[in-house]
Each structure stands twice: as C-alpha cells, then as structure tokens.
Amino acid sequence: MQKRPIGVVTFDLWDCLFCDETDEPKRAAAGLPSKPIARRQLLYEHLVQQAPIERIQVDTAFDVADAAFRKVWHEHYITWSVSERIQVILDALKRSLPPASFSEVVSGIENMELEYSPNPAPGGVEALAALHGKYKLAVISDTVYSPGKNLRKLLEKFGMLPYFDYFVFSDEAGHSKPHPSLFEMVANHFSVDIRDIVHIGDRPHNDIGGPHAVGARGVLLTVVKKRPLDHHIPDAICDDYATLASVLASLEP
C-alpha cells in the first residue's frame, strides 16, 4: 500500500459512532413496543381515525414497502425519505391522510431515535476529541428512518457534533453508500484529492468497497460489530477507538 497524507477522515454513523438498536432495551423498559411495531401502530391509528381498516392490511403494506426500500437501497443506492415510504404504503392501501395527520405520522417515525436514543460506541467521543484539529472530520452515513436533520441532533445530544466539519447523509445527497458521489462530495467540499480521504466504517461492502472504488482508503472498525470481509481488504482495522489515532498515523508517510 502506498502511503499518502490524509486530507479528510470520514466516519460512518451506525455501528460506528453509535451502537445500532441499543435504543430497543430502553423502549422496552419504558413499556413501549419495538420501533417496527410502533411505526405500524402509529400509521394504523391515524388511518383508522379517518375510516375503518384492518391492522393486518397496514402491517402487510408496511412490510412490502420495507422490502421495496431495501431493494432500492441495496441495488440502486437510494434511500427513500420517510414521507416517500409512507406515501408508498398509502398508495398501496388506496388511502390518504389529511396533511396534518400525514405530517404527524412522518415526524413521529423520524423522531423515535431522538426520544430513546442508541448508545455511542465505546470510546468514540474521546477518539473524535483526540482527532479534532489534527484532521478534517466528516460524516458519510446512510439514513433509514432517522433523516440527516435528526442524525445531526443525535450527534449533538452526545457531544459529537462540534467535532465534524461536514456531513453527507443519503437522504440529502440523493444516493447512499457505496455510491461514488458521496465521497466526491467530501473531496469537493474540502478541495482535496479524493485519494486522500480515509473512511472509517463497519460494513466492508459499503465502507471499504465504497472508498476503494474511488481510490480512497478504508479502515474497518470492529469496535461495535465484526462482519465478514466478503473479499474486501481494508487498509487497516481498528478494534478499539483508543488506537484509532495510531491506526491513522500508520497510513501516512
């Protein structure tokens, strides 16, 4: 591997900066259903206020829309917004909601991870503090149900937001990882050679294959989850945020 200066360090968010699904035990402790059940329940309650409908119809339409979302996400690198997803479900049900009710459903779903939030990855905040000022830092993250505007709030809630100089969220960028445009946006914003981006993430296909496809480098983070490499070869592996600074230093001349 040819060593190059690091122009920007970019971070994935889920299972990288935050431990995905650690909010579910908090919801359970509060007597709340899981997020998938709560989303379906919320839409059902608003629909049944307008006209009778069976819960199984709502659940089935939601399941099909979720499957369609995953197909578009994984094969076409696009993440539909929550409003788009709800509209797909309503179209399938041949139903509609008044604008105020529609907005309540969308915001209720979007805000679930702000109300009961996942835990930060162990050592993540401290690592960002150590890297801040030494490198330009950015986030490149897909959005599923929490939009970029709320992921910024989540980062702020746990003291991470000030460490970042730029954010690329898939609902705002128009594509999801590993689409090249996300890394190109970072290079253009910072006026750096795209090869001088080092991306840190937990998914080999997106977070190693994505940067490699544009000539950037990828560090596989295994702090939260260890995933099969699936033939991707990371430029480095970090299994403890306390070692991240030295891992990055090893990539430089």
Q: Does the pLDDT at position 1 exceed 90?
A: no
DSSP label at residue 121: P
Question: 160-204, pLDDT tens digit by residue?
Answer: 999 999 999 999 999 999 999 999 999 999 999 999 999 999 999
pTM: 0.94
Q: What percent of the chain has pLDDT over 90?
A: 98
Question: 8-61, pLDDT tens digit by residue?
Answer: 999 999 999 999 999 999 999 999 999 999 999 999 999 999 999 999 999 999
Where does the chain show beta strands of DSSP type E? Answer: 8-11, 18-19, 119-120, 136-141, 166-169, 197-201, 217-221, 236-238
Cα separation, 112 vs 130, in Å, equals 31
Domains identified in the chain and CATH numbers = 8-22+120-249 (3.40.50.1000), 24-115 (no CATH)
